[in-house]
Structure 1
Amino acid sequence: MDLPILYSFRRCPYAIRARLAVAASGVAVELREILLRDKAPAFLATSPSGTVPCLQAADVVIDESLDVMIWALRQHDPLGWLDMPEVGMTLIEVCDGPFKSALDRTKYDTRYPECDAEEQRALAMGFLNRLDQQIGDKTGLFDDALRLADMAILPFVRQFAFIDKPRFDAEAGPNVARWLESFLDSERFAAIMPKLAMWREGDTPLIFAGAIEVANP
């Protein structure tokens, strides 16, 4: 059986969000873990950008993480992640644009000597404060269920938090802190974060549909 192939990298927040959606959908894919400093030729031949995640299905190659999420959920969306207000897409756009820019200039400040890391951190915290107000006393951004926007944004909040976790814990609003901790403690997150060996041509396929299974050779 030819399954879609999902090229991924465990710690990349873009790849994390893609795996979350694939797991939620229950759609089976072959998962291939890529080492970013030694990219497999088959991956480079597939991905137009050479970045993860990249999904190769029978009739399409999807090279953007949000598009991978939507592709999977349009196959099957048992948890109703696509059922969210339009503002959810706006929040994702801010996350992927200004927030990610500020995150990178905080985490990798030596790469951006023209930027002040503390100013960039303040910009990132401004977005987190907006999310804190959006969450309020709810479980998620919109209600007590998690939606596409929650799962698209949380991997980047995680990345930002662990730049300096004690400082994040001291400065983050209580609602966004609770939202993140619930995500980090969830079985859903644990299921998509196992450590995998780098994929090489000829390896026995790893089938991923919410959990990792080794395919019969």
Structure 2
Amino acid sequence: MAALLYSFRRCPYAMRARMAVAYAGVSVETVEVSLKAKPPEMLERSPKGTVPVLVLDDQVLEQSLDIMRWALAQNDPDDWSMASDPEAQRQIAELIAENDGSFKTDLDRYKYAVRYPEFTQAEYRARGEVFLERLEELLAERDFLVADHLTLADTALAPFVRQFCYVDPEWFWQSHYPKLQGWLKRFLESALFVNAMAKHTALP
């Protein structure tokens, strides 16, 4: 049975899984999922019902980072994992943890501020900017976050920065984060992102 990657194009977790699989060049069939009518075969293998899900012959991976690491374990030609650099690996892990933790919380509240009336949308954006400022500082010395080339950190974080940008694009592209803007623009225009985000037939 071919490996199946259940995905949803607008989900940042699914985006980064798709890119890692595409980068590694592994043979995986991507299945677009309608979140309003999830395919029974996906729910049978992954009852939690969220994407991405990678169904392999011998296991089911239900977390985007697990899927990314699986893909890199198959093939990592440009050393996204920084295999021989423990300090870079530590930095990658820290950035992903902050992105998936506090920044994702701030992003959700910024995007859906009406659901969280404790603070204004601008206040939620300011909270998220703490992370943007850290990324801007990292990009001051190089074009990528951790090394002089794309790593797991760039690919894991970019879909979430993209989502933050799209809440108010006019604000983002006029903000005081020129290095981050350039980094995101290169990401969005990259063949990796464009090809990984090609449309697939939706199920059901």
Whether TM exceeds 0.5 here: the answer is yes
Question: Structure 2 CA distance, aligned partners of 1:77 and 1:108?
Answer: 36
Aligned residues: 199
Q: SS at the partner of 2:89?
A: coil
Matching of residues 85-164 of structure 1 within 5 Å: 85-164=89-168
Question: Structure 2 CA distance, aligned partners of 1:73 and 1:89?
Answer: 15
- C-alpha deviation, 1:172, in angstroms: 4.3
| Structure-1 residue corresponding to 2:51 | 52
| Structure-1 residue corresponding to 2:85 | none
Question: Structure 2 CA distance, aligned partners of 1:154 and 1:43?
Answer: 27
Q: SS at the partner of 1:110?
A: helix
Q: SS at the partner of 1:171?
A: coil
Change (3 A) 1:172 1:40: farther
1:190 corresponds to which of 180, 191, 194? 194
Question: Structure 2 CA distance, aligned partners of 1:172 and 1:197?
Answer: 39
CA contact (8 A) 2:81 2:89 kept: no
- C-alpha deviation, 1:194, in angstroms: 1.6
Tell which deviates more after alignment, 153-162 or 137-146.
137-146
Question: Structure 2 CA distance, aligned partners of 1:110 and 1:40?
Answer: 31
CA contact (8 A) 2:80 2:151 kept: yes
> In the alignment, residue 28 of structure 2 is paired with which amino acid?
V
- Deviation string 1:24-72 (CA, Å, 9 cap, x unpaired) is 1111111111011111111111223210000111111111111110011
Q: SS at the partner of 2:202?
A: coil
CA contact (8 A) 1:24 1:79 kept: no
> In the alignment, residue 111 of structure 1 is paired with which amino acid?
R
Unaligned runs of 5+ in 1: 201-217
Question: Structure 2 CA distance, aligned partners of 1:117 and 1:42?
Answer: 39
- Deviation string 1:157-186 (CA, Å, 9 cap, x unpaired) is 001101111100111411111100000111
Question: Structure 1 CA distance, aligned partners of 2:199 and 2:188?
Answer: 16
- C-alpha deviation, 1:197, in angstroms: 2.7
The reply to whether residue 32 of structure 1 matches residue 36 of structure 2 is no
| Structure-2 residue corresponding to 1:203 | none
Question: Structure 1 CA distance, aligned partners of 2:203 and 2:41?
Answer: 10
CA contact (8 A) 1:4 1:55 kept: yes
| Structure-2 residue corresponding to 1:167 | 171
Question: Structure 2 CA distance, aligned partners of 1:38 and 1:81?
Answer: 35
> In the alignment, residue 78 of structure 1 is paired with which amino acid?
P
Change (3 A) 1:126 1:39: same
Query: As a proportion of its length, which structure holds more helix?
Result: 2
> In the alignment, residue 14 of structure 1 is paired with which amino acid?
Y
Question: Structure 2 CA distance, aligned partners of 1:163 and 1:198?
Answer: 25
| Structure-2 residue corresponding to 1:207 | none
Question: Structure 2 CA distance, aligned partners of 1:172 and 1:101?
Answer: 22
Q: SS at the partner of 2:29?
A: strand
Tell which deviates more after alignment, 117-126 or 191-200.
191-200
Question: Structure 2 CA distance, aligned partners of 1:77 and 1:137?
Answer: 25
Unaligned runs of 5+ in 2: 83-87
| Structure-2 residue corresponding to 1:180 | 184
